Chains A and B, each alone.
Chain A
Amino acid sequence: NAGVTQTPKFQVLKTGQSMTLQCAQDMNHEYMSWYRQDPGMGLRLIHYSVGAGITDQGEVPNGYNVSRSTTEDFPLRLLSAAPSQTSVYFCASSYRGGEEKLFFGSGTQLSVL
């Protein structure tokens, strides 16, 4: 199993541009989520999904959109990038019964200029 795969690993955007961060998992996990990691702060939850077709907001959802059309994929869309969205983004998945035992991808380092 590849686990949780994120692409791209690095991205530079200009303010106002939009882009999609891709996330795929091959473990048949029901739950998927997106976190951002900023210096001096813990990981913060952006959006999560409990299954295909079901998404919900986390702690810091503004400026981001998600959808879950399949069990495997959970893309994160930045609608209009802002410098405050410069961060490292992690996608994670987990299984029913072990919801908090997150399996993380290797991250996307995003810079918004």
Chain B
Amino acid sequence: GENVGLHLPTLSVQEGDNSIINCAYSNSASDYFIWYKQESGKGPQFIIDIRSNMDKRQGQRVTVLLNKTVKHLSLQIAATQPGDSAVYFCAESTGFQKLVFGTGTRLLVSP
């Protein structure tokens, strides 16, 4: 499948830089948040999640930060690599099958 594409916000970085992708969510009752990565021609792939009782969660090269006061979520990618080039979606959830996806941010990594 093709990425959602025509007017996506785009973040361009150099290889080795740290990337920060931001997401504003809408529902103050959302208690679970997920970041997905979608490479061209593929389906979205789970990266990392965080529950609302946490402010920060770290994975391998990725960190998610949650600011419930301003309803803001961010994904930080350390030492960005060309393979990180993709569209990144945040999703918020208030319960089972109540996932609401954002429209995505395209990350372009230059060698």
Let me know if A90 and B1 touch, CB within 8 A.
yes
What is the chain B residue whose CB lies nearest that of A103? B46
Q: Is the interface of B mostly helix, strand, loop or mixed?
A: loop
Q: List 23 A-B contacts (CB under 8 A).
A: A33-B97, A39-B5, A40-B103, A42-B91, A42-B100, A42-B101, A42-B102, A42-B103, A43-B89, A45-B97, A48-B97, A56-B97, A88-B1, A90-B1, A90-B43, A99-B96, A100-B32, A102-B44, A103-B46, A104-B43, A107-B42, A107-B43, A108-B1
Instruction: List chain A positions with a Cβ less than 8 A from chain B.
Output: 4, 33, 37-45, 48, 56, 58, 88-90, 92, 99-109
Let me know if B4 and A41 touch, CB within 8 A.
yes
Let me know if B1 and A107 touch, CB within 8 A.
yes
CB distance from B54 to the nearest CB of A (A): 15
Separation of A43 and B90 alpha carbons in the complex (Å): 11
Residues of chain A with a CB closer than 8 A to B99's CB: 45, 100, 102
Separation of A100 and B99 alpha carbons in the complex (Å): 7
**Is residue B74 within 8 Å, beta carbon to beta carbon, of the partner chain?**
no
CB distance from B89 to the nearest CB of A (A): 7
